[in-house]
């Protein structure tokens, strides 16, 4: 099995339930990992693997759509990736909101979604 990962993809986006998040936005970090069974002994061509540039494009597009819940965002990203690459065996997507609007909170909020096919 082969895993293709993208880590620490940085976006400014306008997800959230609070009005200030919809206006000011927030900084987000996205990670995605997909697993698939290789068809050949050694992968030598792009059509034999999962193109991580395509995955990045899917994530970038979905991050540009303001959405109240991060749970919705990770699941839609995962389903969009699976629609593009139906032979996936599993997918994991995580989104970190780096400055959640919680008074006194230091750190980040994260939502992850994993699915096996």
Q: Is the CB of residue 94 less than 8 Å from the CB of residue 30?
A: yes
Provide the residue ranges of all domains of the chain, joining segments of one domain with +.
2-116
User: Where do we find the tokens 């990203």?
Assistant: 77
Asked if residue 109 has pLDDT above 90, the reply is yes
CATH number of 2-116: 3.30.1130.10
| pLDDT of amino acid 110 | 96
| pLDDT of amino acid 6 | 98
Tell me the helix, strand and coil percentages in the chain, rounded to 5: 30, 35, 35
Q: Is 43 left (phi over 0), alpha (psi -120 to 50) or beta?
A: beta
Task: Give dist(CA 94, CA 112) in Å, integer.
Answer: 4
Which pLDDT band holds residue 20 (cuts at 50, 70, 90)?
confident
13 versus 106: the higher-pLDDT residue is 13
| pLDDT of amino acid 8 | 98
Q: What is the pTM of this model?
A: 0.93
Instruction: Kindly report, residue by residue over 33-92, the tens digit of the pLDDT.
Output: 999 999 888 999 998 999 999 999 999 999 999 999 999 999 999 999 999 999 999 999
DSSP 8-state secondary structure symbol assigned to residue 87? T
Task: Give dist(CA 62, CA 60) in Å, integer.
Answer: 6
């Amino acid at each position: 099995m082969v895993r293709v990962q993208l880590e620490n993809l940085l976006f400014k986006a306008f997800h959230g339930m609070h009005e200030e998040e919809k206006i000011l936005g927030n900084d987000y970090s996205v990670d995605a990992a997909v697993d698939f069974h290789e068809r050949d002994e050694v992968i030598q061509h792009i059509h034999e693997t999962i193109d991580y540039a395509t995955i990045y494009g899917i994530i970038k597009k979905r991050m540009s759509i303001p959405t109240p819940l991060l749970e919705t965002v990770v699941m839609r990203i995962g389903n969009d990736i699976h629609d593009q690459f139906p032979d996936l065996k599993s997918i994991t997507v995580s989104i970190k909101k780096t400055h959640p609007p919680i008074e006194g909170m230091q750190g980040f909020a994260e939502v992850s979604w994993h699915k096996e096919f």
